[in-house]
């Protein structure tokens, strides 16, 4: 009985264990994937792997294209650099690059090809040291006497100048001009009574151009002066554009000049015939040729106007001569000079300066060309060109001295012309 009771207890325990084990096994079996699920998981992993492979291939292709584009750009840059070096060599300092053409401060102007004609009207006068003809004194021969040198006042008179220009195109042009000026510089007359500025009275008139040997005491005097001037200029110009507006012209060439002056004075009464008087002549002349250089500029204003200025310097090499003569008709009815002196100074070097400035206006007429009008003031000075021979003292008959001085020409000018655009 005891044995069977033990057997029944064992079987009951085994049954309990088996009952407990079966659900646990079933649970483990439920959590494990089956074959279908495993296959599906393998396929998904293979797809992900393939996507990664494709992405890597695309990345490698993009990198290859970028590398090829970089190499192409480098080749083009190198070719452009070589072409630039071949056309315009790079400066010695690589850090300084060449400025663009529009930024260049001074560059050559581009003139149209064509021929131009110019005419000028001048209102000029000539002044020099050779214009004294008499001296007034409050007391003849007194040391403390007040004196006043009387001169001939210059007159403004008209003259003309003609010129032509030609430009082959580009920055260069050629010009030639001719100027003629005949000036009756003026006249003067001295008749008593002579009043001094301080209220005193000049009591004597000294004939300063008469030889002392013939006497120099006169009661009245008259004088006149004539001047002749001829000038020819031929020059080559180089035109430049300075900055954005200023037009600059540098020029060089040759100038020919011919100058002459004739001063004539008449003295009446005293030591001279009261009717015919004594006559004194004083003359000088110079001609020369030489180089001339200079520069001129124009600055534009609104409405076609502009302001301009020009200066030139000449060095003239030529000959100069002077003479003086005196005639007393009361002593010689043939009017032959009783005293005469002439001197040839030989080859002389005379520097000259000329300047002008003013206001201009110009207008373009389509393809025909350009008209222009200028007006302004001009000045010329010939240094040490004037020579006057003076008579020596009465005790040294035939002796003479000389005085030198500058000749100035100044006045106003009006200029007009037309530049044709030609082939």
What separation in angstroms does the CA of 136 have from each of 220, 324, 389, 402? 10, 22, 21, 22
Rounded Cα distance between 237 and 53, Å, is 79
Rounded Cα distance between 55 and 78, Å, is 35
**CA end-to-end span of the chain:** 152
Conformation bin of residue 244: beta by default, left when phi > 0, alpha when psi is -120 to 50: alpha
What separation in angstroms does the CA of 406 have from each of 147, 258, 290, 387, 388? 24, 15, 18, 9, 12
For domain 109-130+158-193+209-420, the question of CATH label 2.40.128 is answered with yes
pLDDT at 185 over 70: yes
pLDDT, residue 29, reads 45
Give the residue-averaged pLDDT of 366-379. 94
pLDDT, residue 23, reads 47
Judge whether 221 and 266 are in contact, CB under 8 Å. yes
pLDDT, residue 69, reads 84
19 confidence band (pLDDT: 50, 70, 90): very low
Rounded Cα distance between 271 and 269, Å, is 6
Task: Please list the residues that pair with 44 across neighbouring strands.
Answer: none
Give the residue-averaged pLDDT of 337-346. 87
26 against 278, higher pLDDT: 278
pLDDT, residue 22, reads 45
Give 306's contacts (C-beta < 8 A, 6+ positions apart): 298, 299, 300, 359, 360, 361, 362
Rounded Cα distance between 232 and 370, Å, is 25
Give the residue-averaged pLDDT of 209-217. 87
Beta strand pairing call for 278-300 and 305-327 = antiparallel
Rounded Cα distance between 219 and 187, Å, is 18
pLDDT tens digits for range 375-421: 999 999 999 999 888 887 765 555 577 788 899 999 999 999 999 98
pLDDT, residue 131, reads 78
Rounded Cα distance between 366 and 355, Å, is 33
Rounded Cα distance between 233 and 181, Å, is 15
What separation in angstroms does the CA of 3 have from each of 6, 127, 395? 5, 174, 200
Rounded Cα distance between 420 and 365, Å, is 10
Both tokens of 114, joined, read 């064509």
Q: Where are the domains of the chain?
A: 48-87, 109-130+158-193+209-420
Residue with tokens 């000079």: 337
* Top-ranked range on mean pLDDT: pick from 58-67, 99-108, 240-249, 251-260: 251-260
pLDDT tens digits for range 57-94: 787 888 888 788 888 888 888 888 888 777 655 444 44
Give 23's contacts (C-beta < 8 A, 6+ positions apart): none
pLDDT, residue 2, reads 46
Judge whether 65 and 73 are in contact, CB under 8 Å. no
| pLDDT > 90 in the chain, percent | 42
Q: Which H or E element spans position 19?
A: helix 2-31
Burial of 135 (0-12, 13-18, 19+ CB in 10 A): middle
Both tokens of 228, joined, read 């002749």
pLDDT tens digits for range 150-160: 888 888 999 99
Give 138's contacts (C-beta < 8 A, 6+ positions apart): 145, 146, 147, 196, 200, 201, 202, 203
Among 13-17, 126-130, 169-173, 286-290, the range scoring the smallest mean pLDDT is 13-17
């Amino acid at each position: 009985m005891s044995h069977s009771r033990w057997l029944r207890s064992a079987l009951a325990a085994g049954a309990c264990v088996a009952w407990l084990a079966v659900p646990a096994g079933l649970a483990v079996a439920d959590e494990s994937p089956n074959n279908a699920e495993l296959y599906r998981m393998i396929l998904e992993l293979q797809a992900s792997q393939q996507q990664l492979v494709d992405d890597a291939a695309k990345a490698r292709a993009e990198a290859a294209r970028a590398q090829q584009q970089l190499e192409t750009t480098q080749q083009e840059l190198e070719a452009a650099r070589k072409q630039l070096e071949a056309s315009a060599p790079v400066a010695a300092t690589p850090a300084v690059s060449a400025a663009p053409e529009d930024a260049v401060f001074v560059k050559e102007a581009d003139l149209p090809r064509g021929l131009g004609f110019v005419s000028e009207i001048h209102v000029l006068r000539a002044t020099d040291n050779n214009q004294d003809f008499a001296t007034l004194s409050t007391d003849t021969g007194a040391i403390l006497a007040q004196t006043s040198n009387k001169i001939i006042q210059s007159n403004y008179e008209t003259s003309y100048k003609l010129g032509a220009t030609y430009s082959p195109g580009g920055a260069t042009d050629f010009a030639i001009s001719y100027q003629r000026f005949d000036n009756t510089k003026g006249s003067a007359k001295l008749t008593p009574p002579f009043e001094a500025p301080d209220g005193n009275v000049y009591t004597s008139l000294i004939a300063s151009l008469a030889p002392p040997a013939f006497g120099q005491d006169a009661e009245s005097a008259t004088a006149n002066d004539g001047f002749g001037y001829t000038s020819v200029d031929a020059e080559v110009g180089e035109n430049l554009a300075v900055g954005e507006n200023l037009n600059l012209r540098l020029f060089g060439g040759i100038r020919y000049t011919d100058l002459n002056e004739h001063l004539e004075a008449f003295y009446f009464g005293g030591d001279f015939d009261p009717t015919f008087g004594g006559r004194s002549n004083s003359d000088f002349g110079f001609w020369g040729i030489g180089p001339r250089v200079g520069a001129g500029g124009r600055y534009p204003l609104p409405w076609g106007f502009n302001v301009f200025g020009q200066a030139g310097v000449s060095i003239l090499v030529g000959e100069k001569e002077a003479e003086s003569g005196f005639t007393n008709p009361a002593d010689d009815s043939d009017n032959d000079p009783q005293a005469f002196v002439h001197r040839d100074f030989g080859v002389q070097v005379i520097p000259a300066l000329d300047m002008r400035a003013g206001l201009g206006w110009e207008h373009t007429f389509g393809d025909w060309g350009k008209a222009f009008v200028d007006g302004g003031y001009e000045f010329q000075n010939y240094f040490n060109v004037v020579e006057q021979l003076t008579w020596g003292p009465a005790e040294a008959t035939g002796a003479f001295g000389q005085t030198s001085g500058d000749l100035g020409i100044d006045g106003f000018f009006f200029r007009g012309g037309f530049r044709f655009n030609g082939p």
